[in-house]
Structure 1
């Protein structure tokens, strides 16, 4: 059907690096559903008890680059099934066009997608599905009802991936079997991703590269790490086309490029996007040491709460406060930006006099 693409996924499930238990939980859900379908074939009376809505719909939610699309491909390959990738904007526009020009209905286009999946015994994958199920109050698609009806009739597996789960239509949540949260990888998982991506003989790397240090310093998701590896390989090939060797300098420069891209993706009011880190900061050795200690503390906090099992609720109550003082033009803002760059976080600029106003007291709503 126009607006969808059926293909055989090639991703090995062993190459997907996720938080402990996440991959196993997804695979277990799909395997249990396969057993359920077999039970249903042996128990036709079940159709009387559950006449509709017996398919499996899993939602993968999390930031961009955390492995949602890769996992969908890996699960389909592991199950020996094809994957039907749905481009909802194209599907929706073609459905509307067919309805207007041919006297048909929008539902017919959606029916054809699920019919194709049923005939091919394929898993249906809606990537970036917030475009599909935008909240109706926010001007979401008028064709959501038809699509939800077809999803409910479908007796196979559907994957939904989104980095904005709160934008999904309320009616969609009633049709989701299970939700899996994909979080950014911790430094141990990042190191594993680096090792997997650079283990292939076609990406020759210097043996002296400290992957542990790279993974700890650059807090990138898997998608950005892949891009950094490609950037590093391009640099190596540019130096020596026939016998390239990726150096640690290539890797670091590739990471710096991806850090800038990752920072640009985060959007909020009065955002300041850092462009360079401590290496480019002109300051005294004493100041540089204090800034490095603060950055190391924050990275250690990530290890403590990300790898050692302490809960996220404890992490939310922790923080670091630093006072940068001195005459104008001495680099205070530049130092703050360098810290943000090293931590992979943009800065939110706050005008303190404006925040305090005439009373000299901050309003809680303004601070948040």
Structure 2
């Protein structure tokens, strides 16, 4: 004898469904349009948007026809309309940005390998490069003012700076520096305007902000404690496992992790956030703090950890998913990983479209989806 929800009086809920995949088409379409626009330029963005809208319309018509033949109501029209609106918004946005990038004056100067003096704000910690020759680092930065051939422009745009490790490795995100170097075309299509190669230290360096300095002090202190209390090969690993700082990681250990396919352990991801936020929720709820106050404190801790660990693609994805989970916790809504992941993808691509072609972001999203 079998019973169903109607016969037993139990409320019918969607909890029986293992996954809520309603946001998956929107995330896939918007991600595809953004990636194609970045890799192919403004024309490719328009073509991808038009193709995506046509495909969505065809699928919606086919699903509606199937539902009519079966005599069942269908929500394909409203779902398709939402996907089309998002596709048009993402397509229009990436078209405007790629058009602006193609017409950027620094991009034209990079084709001629011109010399440049630029005032830039660093976006990340300098990352050590493994290229042969003198030790060098690469750092991403946002331009605020450039001087090319005696002509000054107050323009924005993202650049990659390749510089000596000895004079650049101690700089912190948020610092404003002046760099003198030679322009080159972008290494890869990631919405970077140009590459600046310099062989000397920054011309001028401003002091870091209070928050950036505090985060840098925390990372330095963690590394110093590890160096003073652990063997050298393990001392460089601990900061990587905790906050993703691999600047002191031994080359042999790094090669071993790469050979074993375990390099993801030294990148901050959802596991770090789960442990941290889980501990905060457990302690605060255990001492009787209310759910709203608990979520507020957990959110502050989450933001602080993002600042300390640096907002890399995997960190941003995990942080946004964690924020969605905290909102669900305080509102009493069901917490499902797939809608949270898709919401994180849409939110991050809307704010930072360059993540669509970032290998770290791609691997982070697909690894989370697989789990």
TM-score category, normalised to shorter length: under 0.3
More strand by share: 2
TM-score w.r.t. length of structure 1: 0.24
More helix by share: 2
TM-score w.r.t. length of structure 2: 0.24
Q: Which has the higher contact order (CA 8 A, sep 6+)?
A: 1
